[in-house]
Chains A and B, each alone.
Chain A
């Protein structure tokens, strides 16, 4: 019997592992085209050194971008950063980005370091973000990143691929984040465990690189190995003059064997809020409306790009943040912040009462700053809301789009931005 065709993910693994027809479930050793890390690189360095390795293979294909605890919060973190800087210099890593440049996933995306058809690995669970540009981007641990630096290879279980067919168009006021919160609620936090989500269907071409990023990024919240938007004219346009590496786009074969196919009708969607505790507790915003909000966080790798800030600024322009709400805005990168300064969105947000923090993970990981008090609720554009995620397990986190976040920051309660726009204009 002839072998079925290959999916995009299988093709990339075939090229990088030398196994002609990698079968789902099979473990192969693949050679990543590009890898990156952040503050947790200290553990990769430690593993690298304990393995007795002395030289990073292909240092031109390795990046580190400090983003989790920037600027350093204490002596220990400062010393970790210093150790990483020294390692990057000694190993002549081509791409080192110090704290304040931005969140690593965003920086790799906007600087052309993630290219279509490549195998990218990063020591972070939101590595799948790179799928927005047609790469197979996998999250790995820190120890195995050190192993990949030393040996050039990494063990990968060949994934099944699920085809997500996007139909229709998002209604006004409904965003990529709402689509993702809907998908996570529908499938659960292990809904696509070990699988790759390939986004396709008639609506896929119309989504912008930033929206694709949001979808691929939060594929991690479905337990997926990755998410990917196959290369198309939008990808080509975005990367024109930007790509740092030569690339060859890859598409799934017409007769590729998908594990299954899911259809999502975008026209049927509305704004969503994931209730505290787990990412799959998404409900239509109306079911959460009226809950008191203490802090609003517009930030993280999921939703803090220029288009996200523009949506928030569009709602906050000429209005004030509610007196009982702290609005914290953290652009995903310095480049995003500069763009928001050019467009005037930065000014609109500041005048409305937003507090800005340096570009990085900031409040998202609960490592430093923006920690919540007992009993508080933070409405956040980030991707995770497990108990304690923002540093206090007696506080709660709900997830939403930048539009819902901005409207709720004004009213002080969870608010549907669509009604809000209508009644206050």
Chain B
């Protein structure tokens, strides 16, 4: 997978409750975008909505397992979260919503700033940004398939269709 886009940078220990408080968890994804990360500060909401790629520090998304945090980021247009290490339920929920998560702590705080252009090549395991190149571990096959399908719902749809046809999932 090759991806490129504009970066927004966030710090350490941004909890899932801060990404999207529980009181907004039942909004439509579209409506969530107005609130995503606003708990951190109003500028954070604007920054994330302008970005395709989110660079985040340690423990981003820790705490609550509510999927709405990941769903809200995806609805706001974020396609990749990179940095970390990330909290595990955030990792799962992001992947299942088609938001790729790449652990690359080396990149955090290394001169990558808001508005930087970033290029990601998941096959070669390389990230280019601000004149530097970073290595990332390969994306597990199943994760690749889910993200390539669009999200877990799309992946599940084709899985069920294949099983109905008597394919390998039968």
* A interface residues with partner B (beta carbon < 8 Å): 27, 29, 40, 42-43, 47, 50-53, 68, 76-77, 80, 123-127, 139-144, 146-147, 150-151, 155, 157, 189-190, 193-194, 220, 223, 225, 278-279, 365-367, 384, 386-389, 391, 393
Whether the Cβ atoms of A51 and B88 lie closer than 8 Å is no
Whether the Cβ atoms of A144 and B96 lie closer than 8 Å is yes
Q: Which of B39, B89, B140, B160 has the most CB of A within 10 A?
A: B89
Whether the Cβ atoms of A225 and B65 lie closer than 8 Å is no
* B interface residues with partner A (beta carbon < 8 Å): 13, 15, 17-18, 21-23, 25-26, 39, 58-59, 62-67, 70, 85, 87-89, 92-93, 96-97, 140-143, 146, 151-153, 155-157, 159-161, 163, 169
In the complex, the chain A residue whose C-beta lies closest to that of B164 is A52
Q: Return 6 A-B CB contacts under 8 Å, by A number.
A: A40-B66, A51-B153, A141-B65, A147-B96, A223-B62, A386-B63
In the complex, the chain B residue whose C-beta lies closest to that of A42 is B26
Whether the Cβ atoms of B26 and A147 lie closer than 8 Å is no
In the complex, the chain B residue whose C-beta lies closest to that of A371 is B23
Whether the Cβ atoms of B93 and A141 lie closer than 8 Å is yes
Whether the Cβ atoms of A143 and B152 lie closer than 8 Å is yes
Quick one: which of A139, A147, A389 contacts B89, CB cutoff 8 A?
A139
Residues in A neighbouring B18, C-beta threshold 8 A? 386-388
Q: Which of B66, B142, B151 has the most CB of A within 10 A?
A: B66
Interface SS of chain A: loop
Residues in A neighbouring B88, C-beta threshold 8 A? 193-194, 223, 225
A67 vs B98: C-alpha distance when bound (angstroms): 29
User: What is the total of A-B residue contacts with beta carbons within 8 Å?
Assistant: 130
In the complex, the chain B residue whose C-beta lies closest to that of A225 is B88
Whether the Cβ atoms of A143 and B17 lie closer than 8 Å is no
A43 vs B68: C-alpha distance when bound (angstroms): 9
Given contacts A139-B65, A194-B88, contact A366 B21 (CB under 8 A): yes
Whether the Cβ atoms of B153 and A47 lie closer than 8 Å is yes
In the complex, the chain B residue whose C-beta lies closest to that of A368 is B23
10 new A-B pairs (CB below 8 Å) besides A141-B67, A141-B89, A143-B151? A40-B25, A43-B67, A68-B22, A80-B26, A143-B153, A190-B62, A223-B59, A223-B88, A366-B22, A384-B17
Quick one: which of A52, A157, A366, A391 contacts B157, CB cutoff 8 A?
A52
Residues in A neighbouring B15, C-beta threshold 8 A? 278, 386-387
A151 vs B92: C-alpha distance when bound (angstroms): 18
Quick one: which of B21, B89, B96, B151 contacts A125, CB cutoff 8 A?
B89
Whether the Cβ atoms of B17 and A47 lie closer than 8 Å is no
Whether the Cβ atoms of A143 and B96 lie closer than 8 Å is yes
Residues in A neighbouring B59, C-beta threshold 8 A? 189-190, 223
In the complex, the chain A residue whose C-beta lies closest to that of B161 is A52
Return A184 CB to nearest CB of chain B, in Å.
11
Residues in B neighbouring A366, C-beta threshold 8 A? 17, 21-23
Return B93 CB to nearest CB of chain A, in Å.
4
In the complex, the chain B residue whose C-beta lies closest to that of A51 is B156
Residues in B neighbouring A53, C-beta threshold 8 A? 156, 160
Whether the Cβ atoms of A150 and B160 lie closer than 8 Å is yes
Whether the Cβ atoms of A47 and B21 lie closer than 8 Å is no
Residues in A neighbouring B141, C-beta threshold 8 A? 27
Whether the Cβ atoms of B159 and A151 lie closer than 8 Å is yes
A53 vs B164: C-alpha distance when bound (angstroms): 11
Return B140 CB to nearest CB of chain A, in Å.
5
Residues in B neighbouring A155, C-beta threshold 8 A? 142, 146
Whether the Cβ atoms of B21 and A388 lie closer than 8 Å is yes
Q: Which of B65, B93, B140, B157 has the most CB of A within 10 A?
A: B65
